[in-house]
Amino acid sequence: MGRAHGFPDPLSQRRAGLDDRFGHAQFHRNRNDRQGAIVSTREITLVRHFDAPRELVFQAWLDPAQLTQWSGPDGFTCPPDSFVVEPHAGGRYDAVMVSDTDGASYPTRGVFREVDEPERLVFTWGDPTGDGSPERESVITVTFEETASDKTTMTFHLLAPGSLSAEDGAREGWSQTLDRLVALF
C-alpha cells in the first residue's frame, strides 16, 4: 500500500523500476486522486532497437504509406485510406485495424500532444476495443535515441487510465505491432 499523499512506498518504487527495465506491464494501485477516490493506471514500456537512423524510424510513425505496413498486431491490417495523420501538436490521427480472419473493423483515433522530430512523439490513443470515450484514452510517448551511427533505440511508453486487466491484450498487441515495425528496417 502507498504512503500518505500519494507517494509510493519503497517496495513499489523498486518493483516499478524492475518492470521499466525489462519492459513488463506495471500496475499502480491505491493512488488517491484529489477527491480521495482510488485510481488505477497501467503503464507498459517496450524497447526496440533498429539498424536505421532515428529520422527514418521517427518518420515511420507519421507516414501513412509506412504505417499501413506495420500498424496493428499479428492478424490485423490497416488499409492505407484509413489513416489520417496531422503531425503537429493538436493534430489528429485516425486509423482502422481490420481483422484478417473475419473482416471486423476496429477504429482508433487520437491527438498529437507533442511532435519533436526526430526525438519524441506524445499522443493520445483510443483503444480500438473500447467505447471511444475520452476517459478511456491512453497517452503514448515514443522516444528515439541515436545509439550509434545509423542505429536507434526506440522506447514506447503507454499510460492507460482506469482499472484494466493484465489479460486485455494491449501489451501483447503493441509488442507485436512494434516487432512488425522493426522488421521494416
Q: Any residues with CB less than 8 A from the CB of 87 and at least 6 apart, and which?
A: 62, 112, 115
Q: How far is CA 153 from CA 36, 68, 96, 126, 135, in A?
A: 39, 22, 27, 25, 31
**Residue 171 banded pLDDT, cuts 50, 70, 90:** confident
Tell me the domains of the chain and their CATH numbers.
Answer: 40-184 (3.30.530.20)
The three cell numbers of residue 16 are 516499478
Mean pLDDT of 88-107: 95
> At 42, is the pLDDT very low, low, confident or very high (cuts 50, 70, 90)?
confident
Pair 84, 96: CB distance under 8 Å:
no
- Among 56, 55, 61, smallest CA distance to 86 is for 61
Q: Which helix (H) or strand (E) holds 13?
A: helix 10-22
Handedness of CA 43, 44, 50, 55 (dihedral sign): negative
**Segment among 23-27, 41-45, 146-150 with least mean pLDDT:** 23-27
Contact criterion met (CB below 8 Å) for 26 and 12: no
